[in-house]
Amino acid sequence: MSTRAYAAPSATEPLGPLTITRREPLATDVEIEILYCGVCHSDLHYARNEWGMTTFPIVPGHEILGRVTRVGAKVTKFKVGDTAAVGCLVDSCRTCSSCESDLEQFCLNGPVFSYGGPDKHSGGQTHGGYSEKIVCDEAFTLKVPSNLDPAAAAPLLCAGITTYSPLRKWGAGKGKKVGIVGLGGLGHMGVKFAHALGARTVLFTTSEGKVADGKRLGADEVVISKNAHAMAQHAGSFDLILDTVSADHDFNAYLALLKLDASMVVVGAPPTPQPVSVFSLLMPRRNLAGSLIGGIAETQEMLDFCGKHDLVCDIEIIRMQQINEAYERMLKSDVKYRFVIDMASLKG
């Protein structure tokens, strides 16, 4: 079916309107009228081909929330009128060891991402949430707790799960000192989750204007990372540091803040390699790791956790037509703290 969308035609042109085709819902599919879609920095990296893997035109968007408008004959989880959400994953092989361990994002046969992935139905590539509708298998469609504001819940589908998953895996909680690097879309949810999990939470930011917000969002302490003296005060003291930065920065400055056997987990994905001195890791024995979004079951667990703790994202709602300006503001770290597109604007 013909679907209105917004796409990047090439790495150097602004995003603009494009009509795409979505499949008619199959037996286990849910059709969702998209109400809100968050704007992730990955959308910008991808639209500008900064990771060198984009096929154009591309419709970005993987923080998708809307209303169910049709369901296939075998759908059991959803009915017409339900609120439903889709994140970064729309399919996987479902049989490999990763899929069987609820780690579809690491599917050994290749996870199918919401945009830029191989679309086994159309033969082309998948297109994301900057569009009026999406059709997704119910196995990859999430339920959103009814107490959460839908626009502010949308970014949980990427910014939420990408920070929740490593904080849980690396044991953020009571008695732990956890650092969050960067106060953007991911970082602000990292601060909220680390605080909600009971960890002593320290925010590292390059933006002096974000100190008060950092504390309001749940940080016990905020460190301006450009201040070497302030950084040195924390040497060797962290159990875990979660790095959400989208651009070049010095990993070694944060590794130096870890305790023996503690870990720095990188989720930010700057396009260029970041140099690491082995001495940052050797003395005392430290770990550097990465993490990618989260599996479907864990994404549902995160949404339910947010429902229970009344946690959503701090957002600024924009119209679809403002997306290019929003990208420029994101590059200047000028977003508080996630842009969310009101998809009704696509029609008018």
Alpha helices in the chain (DSSP H): 41-47, 97-100, 150-153, 159-169, 185-196, 211-217, 228-232, 251-255, 278-282, 296-309, 323-331
CB 317 within 8 A of CB 151: yes
Closest CA to 69 of 12, 153, 133: 133
Q: Binding partner of residue 99 among ligand NAP, Zn ion, none, CB under 5 to 8 Å per kind?
A: Zn ion
Residue 12 Cβ, how far from Zn ion at the closest point, in Å?
A: 22
For ligand NAP, the nearest residue by Cβ is 184
Least gap, CB of 209 to Zn ion (angstroms): 24
| Pairing of the two strands 16-21 and 2-7 | antiparallel
Q: Which is nearer to ligand NAP, 69 or 324 (CB)?
A: 324
Q: Which is nearer to Zn ion, 53 or 228 (CB)?
A: 53
**Distance between CA atoms of residues 279 and 9, nearest Å:** 44
- As a whole number of angstroms, the distance between CA 201 and CA 163 comes to 13
Instruction: Give alpha helix (H) positions in 205-287.
Output: 211-217, 228-232, 251-255, 278-282
Partner from Zn ion, ligand NAP, none binding residue 93, C-beta < 5-8 Å depending on class: Zn ion
For Zn ion, the binding residue among 8, 39, 85, 99 (CB under 5 A) is 99
Beta bridge partners of 238: 258
Query: Which CB sits closer to Zn ion, 39 or 199?
Result: 39
Q: Identify the sign of the CA torsion 235, 237, 239, 244.
A: negative
Angle value at C-alpha 85, between 43 and 201, nearest 5 degrees: 70
Shortest Å distance, C-beta 247 to ligand NAP: 4
Residues that bind ligand NAP (CB under 6 A): 40-42, 45, 158, 162, 182-187, 205-207, 210, 244-249, 267-269, 291-293, 330, 333, 335
| Choices 72-80, 87-95, 205-213, 332-340; region in contact with Zn ion by CB under 5 A | 87-95
Q: Using CB distances below 5 to 8 A depending on partner kind, what does residue 127 bind out of ligand NAP, Zn ion, none?
A: none
25 or 87: CB nearest Zn ion: 87
Stretches 153-161, 214-222, 248-256, 257-265: which one binds Zn ion (CB under 5 A)? Answer: 153-161
Q: Closer to Zn ion at the Cβ: 214 or 294?
A: 294
**Residue 321 near residue 345, CB atoms below 8 Å:** yes
Stretch that binds Zn ion, among 37-45, 129-137, 211-219, 303-311 (CB under 5 A): 37-45
Tokens of 246: 């989208």
* Residues in touch with Zn ion (CB under 5 A): 40, 42, 92-93, 96, 99, 107, 109, 158
